[in-house]
Structure 1
Amino acid sequence: MKHSFLTKGKILLFLTLIFIAGCAANTTQQSSATSSPKKRKQLELIKQIEQKEHKEHLLAKAKASAQQYDYQKAITLLKKSSILKDEDIQNAIDTYEKQKKNLVTWPDNSKIPHLFFHSLIVDPSKAFDGDDMDQGYQDYMVTIDEFKNILNQLYEKGFVLVSIQDIAKLNKNGKMVYQNIKLPSNKKPLVLSQDDVSYYEYMKNDGFAKNLTLDANGNLTNTYINRKGKVVQGAYDLVPILDHFVDKHPDFSYKGARGIISLTGYNGVLGYRTSESEYGPNSDKPNPNIKKDRQQAKKVADAMKQEGWEFASHTWGHLNAEKVSLDLLKKDTSKWKQEVEPIVGPTETIIFAFGSDIGDWRQYSNNKYHYLKSQGFDYYANVDASKITWSQLGLNYFRQSRINVDGLRMRGALTGENEVLEHFFNVKLVFDSSRPNAKTLIH
């Protein structure tokens, strides 16, 4: 999140400059012999304040990195300082050196789980209203209250968000190799993602946010139309809610990691109707504001990347990559690169829609894989909630299964059909009482 630069030190400096200006005005008639020492004293005071402000800024930046386990970054920043010999700077370096030594390398990168969500329900009474979308929302979405409770429990259990690229990367020879993830011994890595962050037109008036946008201070927020029809801004979906949580608990993020935002393109992205090819099932004409929507969507995407968010292709048309032909997959990928990539930038990750995949448990070797690899995709994700973790380190790719956190999976946990979520949080304590049949399932 962006913060005001009007710190106490700068306020003090500003007031000092006003004081000096006043002194200068009062000494214009004094002799140079009298004013020169006074001016030198005033300049020395300004220098001291500037040095103090510089030191506080350095220490704050270093602390922010250290809180997210990037001790080396904090140490390097402080050692490059022009005031390296300062006692406070030295004490901070010593502290971070000791904390760095206490980190433990995560023992098995193949055992890192990945949870994913869809858009969060803001108003359950509008989502669960008995219409033809009701059951889909019950099955595939979670409410804001559920998500917030899940976050708290994940944090209490010691999970820390990591990027999928923290797990494995291509080396200089093009071989995918595991990376060292170093955390305190009581912490464990977790990847998080959110699918279909397009705020599709079919979700209108059903109790969801309208889009992701930026507030007056440049912070990520949502637009939402409340029950009175008033347009408001706030944390009404996963991205700003998680940003606020990490602001409060910086140690929930490893080196600034957030999550992966998985996007289609056929009805636009991030709540903006950016597609020339189709305009959604409820549109009868092209978007006349498409240029403006694309510009705003790009501003939002750029801000998200600065905050540590990553983007993935979810295929342009939400295709089942397993079932479609290679030719259709190529056409779809071309559309994604034409319409979505200019907004969010290139991505190396593809998250398959419908939880499908382009191969079984064996190493990828088919034509679909070779095509997707040629298009720059090095990371692949499917859905498998039968186990806590499953991943595959290919010769030049990394594949990871994801666990769906939604109404279906939570109901399964409550009825004893599938207890995989219990590894991450207590479903009974999370399950929203506003859900249909909640009392029956919880008790």
Structure 2
Amino acid sequence: MNKKFILIFLFVFTLTNFSGNKIWAKNVVYQGPIYNLFFHPLINYPELAFNQTNKYLDYMDQWFVTVKEFKKIIPELYKRGFVLVSPKDLFEERKDEQGRLIITRKELILPKGKMPLVLSLDDYNFYNKMKLHGTIHRFWVNRQGTLVTITKRNKSTSLNQDDQEVPQILEKFITEHPDFSFNNARGIISLTGYNGIFGYNTHETLHHNYSSQVIEAKKIVRKLKGMGWQFASHSYFHLAEDEQTEQNFENSEKRWLKEVGVIVGPTSYYIFPFGDPWNKNVTRMNFLKSQGYKYFFGVTQTNKTTMEPGIVMMGRFPMDGRSLREKYFGVRTFVNPVDVLDSTRRTEGKP
């Protein structure tokens, strides 16, 4: 009897501690809301972003979080029971008898107490105004196959680092906490096209260096996809709905497919510029659907998901300086702003 007891104890102990994973007591069908959270590129150099002489001070302070803040946010999300999931694990598609697309919610089984979180990253193009005022300059895959960031601080010095952006930081966290990711989910990276992608000039199609820029960008895409990341269109020019005629809009979306889509591959995800959903614009939505988009993301203070014929509309909460500073409704679902806010930010209005 004693031997039996010891064997059972050792078996359970081994399971519980294997690779540091927890064995959850009970898996259940998740019935609650789908949570969505998005970030812009991280501020790596607060001394540039929050410098009082920086004409983009408000821009950097409102719409970005620092590396230090992000490194506090991720463990807090984990502590609160969030689990990264992909939309492909939340919805299933089928055709009805008339050939129409039907999208329905999948049965999602999670450990009891866990909540699904769809993570997205916007504008990972690294626009010039970002690079000059506090973000990294570009991604790069080095000879060891590691995703690193490159930042040039002066003409002779560039910094090559592996812990300064979301994909890198998140990867290390998931290695230590594998139960933070469901079915190898990471997140969705949304890209525009007018200023290249990942810091590479993929928009300068007539430039003599164009081919090498595309080659480097494709290496990054392959690396990120291998890590579990997916990609979305964020439109080509990042313009509001009323800033383009329908024809100009359609031409710019085709340009996105030609310049960005050929690098990142097909996607069914579309993230609206400025987070303003265009679902009331029937002409525009029909065009986007004709280009293969099925899952649309806006920006809201609530995590609202609505399903319309052939499409899914998802609201995302913005995790940025403004949300943290002004303690927007909904931010406390994810973090306590006072515990997260970086002390290097400008002081006015600080909680």
Distance 1:421 1:218 in 2: 36
Distance 2:201 2:176 in 1: 33
- The partner residue of 1:352 within 268, 272, 284 is 272
Deviation at 1:357, TM superposition (A): 1.4
Residue 104 of structure 1 corresponds to: 28
Residue 201 of structure 1 corresponds to: 128
Residue 123 of structure 1 corresponds to: 45
Residue 283 of structure 1 corresponds to: none
**SS, match of residue 177 in structure 1:** strand
Distance 1:161 1:359 in 2: 26
Deviation at 1:153, TM superposition (A): 0.3
**SS, match of residue 175 in structure 1:** strand
Q: Is the 8 A contact 1:318 1:353 kept in 2?
A: yes
Deviation at 1:441, TM superposition (A): 2.2
Residue 391 of structure 1 corresponds to: 305
Deviation at 1:322, TM superposition (A): 5.5
- The partner residue of 1:166 within 77, 89, 99 is 89
- The partner residue of 1:276 within 189, 192, 204 is 204
Residue 234 of structure 2 corresponds to: 314
Which AA in structure 2 matches 1:104?
V
- Point out the more displaced range, 210-219 or 374-383: 210-219
Distance 1:322 1:149 in 2: 38
1:121-270 to 2 correspondences below 5 Å: 121-130=43-52, 131-173=54-96, 174-226=101-153, 229-270=157-198
Q: Is the 8 A contact 2:139 2:150 kept in 1?
A: yes
Deviation at 1:226, TM superposition (A): 4.9
Distance 1:352 1:166 in 2: 22
Residue 43 of structure 1 corresponds to: none
Q: Is the 8 A contact 1:224 1:236 kept in 2?
A: no
Distance 1:128 1:217 in 2: 34
Q: Is the 8 A contact 2:83 2:179 kept in 1?
A: yes
Distance 2:208 2:165 in 1: 27
Distance 2:59 2:129 in 1: 12
Deviation at 1:205, TM superposition (A): 3.5
Q: Is the 8 A contact 1:225 1:232 kept in 2?
A: no
Task: Deviation per CA, 1:408-434: give whole Å up to 9, x if none.
Answer: 111110xxxx33101111110000000
1:397-408 to 2 correspondences below 5 Å: 397-408=311-322
Distance 1:220 1:258 in 2: 15
Task: Deviation per CA, 1:122-151: give whole Å up to 9, x if none.
Answer: 110011112211110001110000011000
Between the two structures, name the one with larger relative contact order (CA 8 Å, sep ≥ 6): 2
Q: Is the 8 A contact 2:275 2:298 kept in 1?
A: yes
Residue 9 of structure 2 corresponds to: none
Q: Is the 8 A contact 2:193 2:203 kept in 1?
A: yes
**SS, match of residue 403 in structure 1:** strand
Task: Deviation per CA, 1:69-96: give whole Å up to 9, x if none.
Answer: xxxxxxxxxxxxxxxxxxxxxxxxxx9x
Distance 2:91 2:243 in 1: 28
Distance 1:306 1:203 in 2: 27
Structure number having the greater helix percentage = 1
Which AA in structure 2 matches 1:257?
A
Larger Rg: 1
Q: Is the 8 A contact 1:162 1:254 kept in 2?
A: yes
Distance 1:345 1:185 in 2: 36
Is 1:441 aligned to residue 350 of structure 2? yes
TM-score computed with the length of structure 1 as normaliser: 0.70
Distance 1:321 1:350 in 2: 14
Residue 331 of structure 2 corresponds to: 421
Task: Deviation per CA, 1:199-241: give whole Å up to 9, x if none.
Answer: 1122233221111121332122211235893332322111111
**SS, match of residue 306 in structure 2:** strand
Deviation at 1:288, TM superposition (A): 3.3
**SS, match of residue 196 in structure 2:** coil
Task: Deviation per CA, 1:259-278: give whole Å up to 9, x if none.
Answer: 1100000110111110136x
Moved over 6 A (4+): none
- Point out the more displaced range, 298-307 or 172-181: 172-181
TM-score computed with the length of structure 2 as normaliser: 0.88
Q: How high is the sequence identity, in percent, across the aligned residues? A: 34
Q: Is the 8 A contact 2:240 2:274 kept in 1?
A: yes
Distance 1:274 1:407 in 2: 30
- The partner residue of 2:342 within 423, 432, 437 is 432
Distance 2:152 2:76 in 1: 29
Q: Is the 8 A contact 1:226 1:232 kept in 2?
A: no
CA RMSD of aligned residues (A): 2.4
For structure 2, the 5+ residue unaligned runs are: 1-17
For structure 1, the 5+ residue unaligned runs are: 1-62, 69-94, 278-285
Deviation at 1:323, TM superposition (A): 5.1
Q: Is the 8 A contact 1:321 1:352 kept in 2?
A: no
Distance 2:171 2:189 in 1: 14
Residue 248 of structure 2 corresponds to: 328
Residue 16 of structure 1 corresponds to: none
Distance 2:307 2:332 in 1: 27
Distance 1:322 1:171 in 2: 34
